[in-house]
Chain A
Amino acid sequence: MSYKILSLGDSASFPGAHPLLDKAERDGDVALVLGNRVPEALERLGKRDGYRAVVVELDMECLGVYTGESRGEEGSNMLGFARFRLGSDPASNLIELVRQPATPQAAIDAARRVFESAGLQVAVCKDVPGRILNRLIRPYYNAALRRLDEGLASAADMDITLKLGLGYPEGPIGLLERTGLDRHYDVTQTLWEAYGDPGYVPARRAQIAKQRALVEAQVQAWTERDDEIADD
């Protein structure tokens, strides 16, 4: 399956070298739209009917933002995708491929083949906030942070229990502190706004981490301003 890439703006999914980028051609059966300037890229791509699939990179937004939605019958050769990344961790090998109710199977298959040809694993899901992974894991991470505050067990004991008992590669507390509690806040705040489900309300520790990150950014800005004034 041949494919072309149209890249505009920063791509969170493919920020650096990857076989997917190397194998792209000048033209192809599938168009991949990378970067965070999707509307502009779609304008440049022009007519989309000629492609088996047009696959646009998503951040936290839904595909419907770009396609529009109507009566639950939306769906075309346009799909969305995001390469899963947990906080500051490098992007994983997982592509969440987003379809709509009436997306043709041929378009899904074409998009899947493109990603798989570059060694990526694809999980297809409907167009919902948080897709599969963030929707599933964020309430678990929030619960772990809450129960840590409530003294269920020490952070070390909670982590080792979930590693040894369930075979998880890493416990939730260590994982969140390593990959950024403030980033967990960003994702959960978005999902909380989308679903209104209390399981997504950012846990206290994530709220504190976010506030602290904002304070640190403010201090950094003040320091830079003071340096500039001193230089003047």
Chain B
Amino acid sequence: MSTIKTVGVAGSGTMGSGIAIVAARAGFRTIVYDVSQPSLDRARKQTEGFFAKSVERKKLTQAQVDTILGNLSSTTDIATMAQCDIVIEAVFENLKVKHELLAKLDAVCPPETLFASNTSTLSITEIAAGSGRDERVIGMHFCLPAQLMKLVEMSPGLRTSDEAFQAAWDLCKAMGQIPVKTKDNPGFILNYFLIPFNNDAIRMVEAGLAEPAEIDRAIKTGLGYAMGPLELLDLVGLDTHLLVAEALYAGTHEPRNQVPALVKRMIAAGHLGRKTGQGFYKYSGNAMFGG
């Protein structure tokens, strides 16, 4: 049973918006903070669009959506976050940026407010060290898209109190999510295993051992995966893969986490994946052609 009533989300990008939807949908009063009003406006529009589809698909009634949207507010004034029992940060994946944000939040929030980080690669302990309240900082890594994916990787930092971790855990369950506990380890579970696996698939293409479509077909047919690694990389975007993999490599120095040279060449060529119409495959609309 969660004692938390008001959830704050710092950052209104894709992850922040998704987390806010999860919290508001579960009945929590939810406040989204961002320094950019246009970003908040864009997030609100996308959120309303998401719930309009939920009504269209009869997953929610209009009355339910009205209540949910009534729970959800936004602000560019960080002082408003003083009303929150927990603030989940989903800002740029950079330790300095997160430290600056947490220091500002620490100045306005009551001492009992929990801080959670949606980081996928950075150390919770290191993030907590810049928070002014490291015993009340927890890792809560939601999966993309947060509003659809149930899994949340939850990690205590070295100084996180049991009580703070349990409160965040209870909130996660109260939001209808499925928490799993991991150590404060670079990449936690998902990215720790996914990034080197994808890097190996890229190296296989780089070495000319098989075409992307052959590798993806092997993975899907042989192991029953829904997507092959190269299809997934095109969906995620090679620029995003580069960011995450470089952060993971910096934290582990494990050779498999090092980004293959092909990725940088593809990025330089504008072959980022689906979003630019070409990655390991060429795209025209939704149709996919072999690479």
A-side residues, CB < 8 A to B, are 84, 86, 92-94, 96, 121-126, 128, 132-133, 135-137, 139-140, 143-144, 147, 151-154, 157-158, 160-162, 164-170, 172, 199
Contact = CB atoms under 8 A, between A and B. Distances in A.
Nearest to B213: A123
A166 B194 contact: yes
B181 A157 contact: yes
Contact of B204 (A135, A157, A161): A135
A135 B204 CA distance: 9
A81 to B, nearest CB: 13
Given A123-B210, A162-B190, A153 B217 contact: no
List the 10 closest pairs (A to B, CB-CB), nearest first.
A123-B218, A164-B151, A94-B222, A94-B221, A125-B210, A121-B221, A157-B180, A84-B222, A132-B218, A123-B214
Interface string B167-199: 000000000001011110100011011101100
Interface stretch (B9-17, B111-119, B223-231): B223-231
Nearest to A96: B218
Given A139-B196, A151-B183, A164 B209 contact: no
B218 A169 contact: no
Interface centre among A122, A128, A157, A169 (most CB of B within 10 A): A157
Nearest to B178: A164
Contacts, number: 124
B246 interface: no
Contact of B180 (A92, A122, A125, A160): A160
Nearest to A170: B224
Contacts of A124: 210-211, 214
B217 A123 contact: yes
A152 B183 contact: yes
Given A132-B204, A157-B189, 13 more contacts: A94-B218, A126-B209, A132-B210, A132-B218, A135-B204, A136-B204, A139-B256, A153-B189, A157-B181, A160-B151, A161-B190, A165-B143, A166-B190
Contacts of A96: 218
11 contacts: A94-B218, A123-B217, A125-B218, A139-B200, A139-B256, A144-B193, A147-B185, A152-B192, A157-B180, A164-B150, A166-B225
A169 B223 contact: yes
Contacts of B234: none
A170 B223 CA distance: 9
Interface string B6-44: 000000000000000000000000000000000000000
